Amino acid sequence: MYALVDGNNFFVSCERVFQPQLESRPVIVLSNNDGCAVARSNEAKALGIKMGAPFFTIKQLCQQHNVAVLSSNYTLYADMSKRMMSILKGLAVRQEVYSIDESFLDLSGISQLTQHAQLIRARVKQWIGLPVCVGIGQTKVLAKFANHLAKSYPFLGGVCNLAELSSDRLARAMQLTEVGEVWGIGRKLAQQLRAMGISTVYALKTANANQLAKVFSVNVARIVHELNGVPCIALEEYSNTQQQMVSSRSFGEPITNRDELIAALSFHCEQLSHKLTKQGLFARSLTFFAHSNRFKDDYVCHAVTLLLPAASNSFRMLTKLITPAMDAIFVPKINYKKAGIIISEMLSADDAIRDLLGSSNLSHDHLLPTLQAINRRYGKRTVRMASAILGHRWQMQRELMSASFTTDSSQLIIAS
Ligand SMILES: [Mg+2]
């Protein structure tokens, strides 16, 4: 049996843990540069604020109803997510971290699943203060559907175990749920299915899988089988092993200045260096890119991929590629809106190969541990490359952001 555990209004819930005064007040969290609503509390949903609504269209409504409006604080959400996932890992046989606030759990061998699900809910709430819902089913698609029911029907108390529903009630619940709610059925596919008369979960469950495989793809047939309790989609325990690493950000305002762009790329080198060391990885090739506003007619995107002489995890080495990268991608007078770096080839220490002369294809920067220790002790980015302070206009507008409650000792919450 599988469980799907999903954080309720996750970003808002993370904020509420540290700002309890936001409890029972409508709250929304905005996307980068305070653009659109990306998370809403139930109270905000009840006011009719839609997911993805541009902030300027709802600003007045927010003022009228005293909605708390926050900039996104991804450092906080990522850290809370890590804590939630580690609690869940201890309560299951196997785990797949599916997204920042969702995890599939393999509960085989565990008896009394509903009680176990309640334990999961209670523990996450007690240990880190986050509310979650748990759905249990024979397959991943069913677990996801069960979670949808747990969220939609408050009388279930946050847990829905499909095995406990009579077949009549299960069929009824499936008849009442839109086909687009099924995991794996996107908006376009849902439209096509509706055009064929398949508009509810129940209709999809009882549809002819082979026929759908011919019309769409074998994936749709798999979903039908999963809805009937036949597991076809395996748990991906190791989906965390990355093939790629990215650090990029949209700018607070368009940038035309070369130094500003260098400062932004230096920042991304620092970010990537931090991620690489944390995971014991070394970068071999890096793609630098910068582009203008996607939604304008004169949209341009410039990118270049460069190889390091030896794979490295040090921001001192990665930063050295910025000058050749800028020579290749920077064009004056372009209003750049976003820039970043993608690492497309990574090595681990196990991949190190020594050539005949004994030099390795990994380069160890012996100063890096010391620099990192200084930054840990005296605060992030105490020691950095000078190029990173060439500009700051590129930084995001996040005027309404909460503090880094869990990741910065200078911003710890103080109980009085
Ligand atoms: Mg969620």
What's the pLDDT tens digit per position in 123-153? 999 999 999 999 999 999 999 999 999 999 9
- What's the 7 CA to ligand 1 centre distance in angstroms? 4
- What's the 8 CA to ligand 1 centre distance in angstroms? 5
What CA–CA distance (Å, rounded) separates 350 from 120?
37
Average pLDDT over residues 57-70: 95
- What's the 149 CA to ligand 1 centre distance in angstroms? 13
- What's the 113 CA to ligand 1 centre distance in angstroms? 21
Per-residue model confidence (pLDDT) at position 320: 95
Residue 394 in this model has a pLDDT that exceeds 90 = no
- What's the 376 CA to ligand 1 centre distance in angstroms? 32
Residue 280 in this model has a pLDDT that exceeds 70 = yes
Cβ-contact 76, 11 below 8 angstroms: no
- What's the 146 CA to ligand 1 centre distance in angstroms? 14
In degrees rounded to 5, what are phi and psi of residue 97?
-80, 110
- What's the 60 CA to ligand 1 centre distance in angstroms? 27
Residue 6 binned pLDDT confidence (cut-offs 50, 70, 90): very high
- What's the 123 CA to ligand 1 centre distance in angstroms? 17
Q: Which of 159, 171, 162, 160 is nearest to 201 (CA)?
A: 171
What share of the chain in percent tops pLDDT 90? 71
- What's the 39 CA to ligand 1 centre distance in angstroms? 9
Residue 356 in this model has a pLDDT that exceeds 80 = no
Bigger pLDDT: 39 or 241?
A: 39
- What's the 133 CA to ligand 1 centre distance in angstroms? 9
- What's the 111 CA to ligand 1 centre distance in angstroms? 26
Summarize the chain as % helix, strand, coil (round to 5): 45, 20, 35
Cβ-contact 72, 401 below 8 angstroms: yes
- What's the 151 CA to ligand 1 centre distance in angstroms? 9
- What's the 13 CA to ligand 1 centre distance in angstroms? 10
Token readout for 243 is 């093939």
What CA–CA distance (Å, rounded) separates 306 from 322?
10
Per-residue model confidence (pLDDT) at position 416: 72
- What's the 90 CA to ligand 1 centre distance in angstroms? 20
- What's the 30 CA to ligand 1 centre distance in angstroms? 16
Average pLDDT over residues 398-406: 79
Which residue is associated with the tokens 């969290």? 29
Residue 358 in this model has a pLDDT that exceeds 60 = no
- What's the 52 CA to ligand 1 centre distance in angstroms? 15
Say whether 348 sits in a helix, a strand or coil.
strand
- What's the 379 CA to ligand 1 centre distance in angstroms? 32
Q: Which of 316, 318, 315, 314 is nearest to 306 (CA)?
A: 318
Angle between helices 322-329 and 258-279 (to 10 degrees): 130
Per-residue model confidence (pLDDT) at position 126: 97
Token readout for 4 is 């799907």
Per-residue model confidence (pLDDT) at position 240: 46
- What's the 15 CA to ligand 1 centre distance in angstroms? 14
Which residues, other chains included, contact 312 with Cβ-Cβ below 8 Å and sequence gap of 6+?
282, 283, 318, 362, 363, 365
What share of the chain in percent tops pLDDT 70? 95
Cβ-contact 290, 336 below 8 angstroms: yes
Tell me the pLDDT of the chain averaged across its residues.
90
Residue 238 binned pLDDT confidence (cut-offs 50, 70, 90): low
- What's the 150 CA to ligand 1 centre distance in angstroms? 12
- What's the 232 CA to ligand 1 centre distance in angstroms? 24
Cβ-contact 155, 23 below 8 angstroms: no
Average pLDDT over residues 297-308: 89
Which residues, other chains included, contact 253 with Cβ-Cβ below 8 Å and sequence gap of 6+?
393, 397
* DSSP β-ladder status, 68-71 and 27-30: parallel
Residue 295 in this model has a pLDDT that exceeds 50 = yes
- What's the 145 CA to ligand 1 centre distance in angstroms? 13
pLDDT tens string 10-50 = 999 999 999 999 999 999 999 877 888 999 999 999 999 99
Say whether 121 sits in a helix, a strand or coil.
helix
Least confident segment among 96-105, 108-117, 183-192, 401-410: 401-410
- What's the 409 CA to ligand 1 centre distance in angstroms? 28
- What's the 9 CA to ligand 1 centre distance in angstroms? 5
Bigger pLDDT: 91 or 402?
A: 91
Residue 110 in this model has a pLDDT that exceeds 80 = yes
Full DSSP string of 131-168: -EEEEEESSHHHHHHHHHHHHH-GGGTTEEEGGGS-HH
Per-residue model confidence (pLDDT) at position 296: 85
Say whether 285 sits in a helix, a strand or coil.
strand
Whats the size of the chain, residue-wise? 416
Token readout for 161 is 């175990």
Angle between helices 113-128 and 74-89 (to 10 degrees): 140
In degrees rounded to 5, what are phi and psi of residue 137?
-155, 175
Work out whether the CA dihedral 73, 75, 80, 81 comes out positive or negative. positive
- What's the 337 CA to ligand 1 centre distance in angstroms? 29
What's the pTM? 0.69
Say whether 37 sits in a helix, a strand or coil.
strand
Q: Residue 411 carries which DSSP code?
A: G
Per-residue model confidence (pLDDT) at position 357: 59
Say whether 246 sits in a helix, a strand or coil.
strand
Which residue is associated with the tokens 């014991």? 280
What CA–CA distance (Å, rounded) separates 101 from 130?
10
- What's the 178 CA to ligand 1 centre distance in angstroms? 19
What CA–CA distance (Å, rounded) separates 61 from 22?
18
Cβ-contact 39, 10 below 8 angstroms: yes
pLDDT tens string 327-346 = 999 999 999 999 999 998 88
- What's the 377 CA to ligand 1 centre distance in angstroms? 34
